Structure 1
Amino acid sequence: MAGMSKIATGNGHGENSAYFDGWKAFEKNPFHLTDRRDGVIQMGLAENLLCFDFIGKWLMEHPEASLCNGEGVSKFKETALFQDYHGMPEFRRAVANFMAKVRGDRVEFDPDRIVMSGGATGAHEMVAFCLADPGEAILVPTPYYPGFDRDLRWRTGVELVPVICESSNNFKITRNALEAAYGKAQEANLRVKGLLITNPSNPLGTILDRETLKSIVSFINEKNIHLIGDEIYAATVFMEPEFVSISEIIEEVECNRDLIHIVYSLSKDMGFPGFRVGIVYSYNDAVVSCARKMSSFGLVSSQTQHLIASMLSDDGFVDNFIVKSKEQLLKRHKYFTWRLSQVGIGSLKSNAGLFIWMDLRKLLKEKTFEAEMDLWQVIIHEVKLNVSPGSSFHCHEPGWFRVCFANMDDNTMDVALSRIRTFMLNNNEAVVPPNKLCRRSSLKLSFSRRKDDFMSPGIMSPHSPLPQSPLVRTRT
């Protein structure tokens, strides 16, 4: 019997990780608010449900955008037939306009440099294929998204070299750390072809300040390596300081623009991961040309392009969406971190993203990754929360966990927070401030009184009983 390929049988998929193991535990026993209250609550999924009421209202008012009804049938044939790999012009214009608005209209984006891909996953692989050969390396600051081990490496053969960032300076990317990683790659006889930064950061929920970005641009120019800016969380910055894009920095400093590339998507900023809208925006003409040819392996469907183009061409909707989404994320973040603080759990100060970087170092029996995994096993199997251990994000300090807060309805979130509170009070009272422990009996009343200050009604979870989708309810 003929064997399978090395790629198919190898471990390059990156799924031998606690990050993916947590998902498997959830899938075996998923929480449901009414049908399975003892199930595992999904807090490992960086998904944005908080703006769906606003999007649903737009869909109800523009049923023709979906093409699945009488109002949209006139565009059906045109959309169903072959579309050029460049993508629909109106789609590329709308995405370029949205990218600019998310960045405060401080920069402009050329629609002709928009290259489509099947989500950010496909976009990252596309860039890796364009920039590096098998065995060459890309530097990546830690902690970083576990999926990069799959997206950039599995089929391309590219190596990832970690840039070690530390909690002592809030995981800031420093020039010394970049130089150390570059030197380590050279010692291993790896040719470094690029640096990948995620801004805002996943999993930290922080943004890179202007001076750090300038230092990064200076570094890649001196080394003559590429810079890939993953900016898929750009519209999730919910409080100051404001987001600064790499596209702004290259307007302010001298640099070789052929080295600058941006990966974007609508999966996080708009909560559309199912639409698989990924974008490569490169300032390098050769990369744009090559990526466009590669995009045939992961195009965005014409129906999705039409819907997105219609929605994002509505400037009034886009302006209101950006504001409303930030308001919802800020409320949820404030409430979530406040509830954790009530039982003595801290987190890295953050102002972006759909998650927090939770600090459980004081719960470890010893300062090792083995102790971190022991704690994670308790959280996933006994507390029944799928949170992601820092080691799965290549964090070099045990005890940090990423926990997502925007992917569930208010009631599910309260169940999750109650489980955390019970775990902390029953098993780890020594780490909870005494003045908070003596107020246990009043905590429940305090939570109910304060909740309206933080939350907005109507936020539902994909695992809660849902009303019919706005797309289903549109006229036929």
Structure 2
Amino acid sequence: MGRNVRGLNLINPHNPTGWIFPKEQIIRLCDWAARSGLFVIIDEIFSSCIHDPDAQFDSFLSYRNKLTNPEKVIYVWSPSKDFGLPGTKLATIHTEMPALLKSLNRLSSISPVSTMAEDFIVKLLSDGEFLTSFKRQMVSRLRAHFSFIAEHLKRLKIAFVPASAAIFVLIDLRKHLSRSSFEAEDELMHKLEGVGLYLTPGSHMEALQPGYFRLVFACSKEELKEGICRLYKFLGRDSSGVQDIEYEQ
């Protein structure tokens, strides 16, 4: 209330649900925003983490010319998630706004990207053979990890949001709250930490109601199995039936 909204930030694939917004929906959103005098930032930081084989993802840059006013939209991508390289502190920005380009150029002279990071990323993205192999293996493992998580969440009768992409799943632990409040959500988070589990609570992601947690599965298969076993233990369930994760060859 009382805030002057200047723009929208859309993460596609979405964090924390792992949903993919269809391009038709994004085009309508961007055209509406332009008519309303708003800027739109399209963040595709998880664009290579599509693990659902039936999912359709179209990068904004492939259909930006279909927008009524594409210069009002800013595209952002970074290797920090797709390649697990947050330490590079590097991102790509595509914009047609001269004023923004001018500001970014000035900012880069004050706080430039490391030349070592630039050189590394250029070499990385220039190696087509490696990129093909890396993405194939990454997607295969993300798919296996999500399937593993989904199977055991169902066994534990924990509802979750079916994800098509990204490295996490949003789970519903509302029935395990002592009461329906964000204070109770924090209490549950600390109880989970007590058995060696850290799940990001919904309050850290501007959730509208308490009880939702983000579970990240981008880790080794041994760590993921151990995490699920700890969740079984926390809920008072026997974890002896938890099997090892098998990857496709």
Name the TM-score, length of structure 2 as normaliser. Answer: 0.91
Shift of 1:352: 0.9
In the aligned structure 1, how far is the partner of 2:131 from the partner of 2:15? 24
Q: Which of 57, 69, 76 is residue 263 of structure 1 equivalent to?
A: 76
In the aligned structure 2, how far is the partner of 1:456 from the partner of 1:323? 10
Unmatched 5+ stretches in structure 1: 1-183, 427-439, 458-476
Name the counterpart of 2:57. 243
The secondary structure found in structure 2 opposite 1:357 is strand
Name the counterpart of 1:423. 234
Matches within 5 A, 1:51-62: none
Shift of 1:297: 3.3
CA contact (8 A) 2:9 2:40 kept: yes
- What are the superposed Cα offsets for residues 98-125 of structure 1, whole Å, 9 maximum, x if unpaired? xxxxxxxxxxxxxxxxxxxxxxxxxxxx
CA contact (8 A) 1:372 1:398 kept: yes
Aligned residue identity for 1:371 = A
In the aligned structure 2, how far is the partner of 1:292 from the partner of 1:322? 32
**Correspondence 1:357 to 2:170:** yes
In the aligned structure 2, how far is the partner of 1:370 from the partner of 1:342? 28
Name the Cα RMSD after superposition: 2.0
Shift of 1:377: 1.9
Q: Which of 145, 168, 192 is residue 332 of structure 1 equivalent to?
A: 145
Name the counterpart of 1:404. 216
Q: Which of 35, 41, 44 is residue 222 of structure 1 equivalent to?
A: 35
The secondary structure found in structure 2 opposite 1:318 is helix
In the aligned structure 1, how far is the partner of 2:144 from the partner of 2:55? 17
In the aligned structure 2, how far is the partner of 1:416 from the partner of 1:258? 45
In the aligned structure 1, how far is the partner of 2:235 from the partner of 2:157? 8
CA contact (8 A) 1:257 1:284 kept: no
The secondary structure found in structure 1 opposite 2:178 is coil
Name the counterpart of 1:79. none
Describe the shift of the 1:410–1:319 C-alpha distance in structure 2 as closer, same or farther (beyond 3 A): closer
Aligned residue identity for 1:393 = M
In the aligned structure 2, how far is the partner of 1:348 from the partner of 1:388? 15
In the aligned structure 1, how far is the partner of 2:63 from the partner of 2:163? 22
The secondary structure found in structure 2 opposite 1:385 is coil
Shift of 1:309: 1.5
Name the counterpart of 2:155. 342
- What are the superposed Cα offsets for residues 222-275 of structure 1, whole Å, 9 maximum, x if unpaired? 11211111111111111232223333342234x222211012110000111112
CA contact (8 A) 2:76 2:92 kept: yes
Matches within 5 A, 1:1-16: none
Name the TM-score, length of structure 1 as normaliser. Answer: 0.49
- What are the superposed Cα offsets for residues 397-428 of structure 1, whole Å, 9 maximum, x if unpaired? 1110011110x3222222211110011126xx
CA contact (8 A) 2:173 2:212 kept: yes
Shift of 1:452: 4.3
Q: Which of 208, 215, 220 is residue 21 of structure 2 equivalent to?
A: 208
Aligned residues: 248
The secondary structure found in structure 1 opposite 2:84 is coil
Q: Which of 263, 267, 285 is residue 98 of structure 2 equivalent to?
A: 285
The secondary structure found in structure 2 opposite 1:238 is coil
Runs of 4+ in structure 1 off by over 4 angstroms are none
Shift of 1:342: 1.9
Aligned residue identity for 1:425 = G
Aligned residue identity for 1:387 = L
CA contact (8 A) 1:343 1:425 kept: no
In the aligned structure 2, how far is the partner of 1:447 from the partner of 1:378? 22
Q: Which of 292, 317, 322 is residue 130 of structure 2 equivalent to?
A: 317
Aligned residue identity for 2:233 = T
In the aligned structure 2, how far is the partner of 1:371 from the partner of 1:252? 46
Shift of 1:353: 1.0
In the aligned structure 1, how far is the partner of 2:153 from the partner of 2:111? 41
Shift of 1:289: 2.4
Q: Which has the higher contact order (CA 8 A, sep 6+)?
A: 1
**Correspondence 1:195 to 2:8:** yes
Aligned residue identity for 1:385 = L
CA contact (8 A) 1:281 1:288 kept: no
Name the counterpart of 2:242. 447
Describe the shift of the 1:447–1:270 C-alpha distance in structure 2 as closer, same or farther (beyond 3 A): same
Name the counterpart of 1:388. 200
Matches within 5 A, 1:174-193: 184=1, 188=2, 190-193=3-6
- What are the superposed Cα offsets for residues 122-151 of structure 1, whole Å, 9 maximum, x if unpaired? xxxxxxxxxxxxxxxxxxxxxxxxxxxxxx
Describe the shift of the 1:276–1:391 C-alpha distance in structure 2 as closer, same or farther (beyond 3 A): same
In the aligned structure 1, how far is the partner of 2:16 from the partner of 2:217? 12
Aligned residue identity for 2:17 = L
In the aligned structure 1, how far is the partner of 2:21 from the partner of 2:171? 19
Shift of 1:212: 2.2
Shift of 1:285: 2.8
In the aligned structure 2, how far is the partner of 1:279 from the partner of 1:365? 44
CA contact (8 A) 1:203 1:356 kept: yes
Name the counterpart of 1:154. none
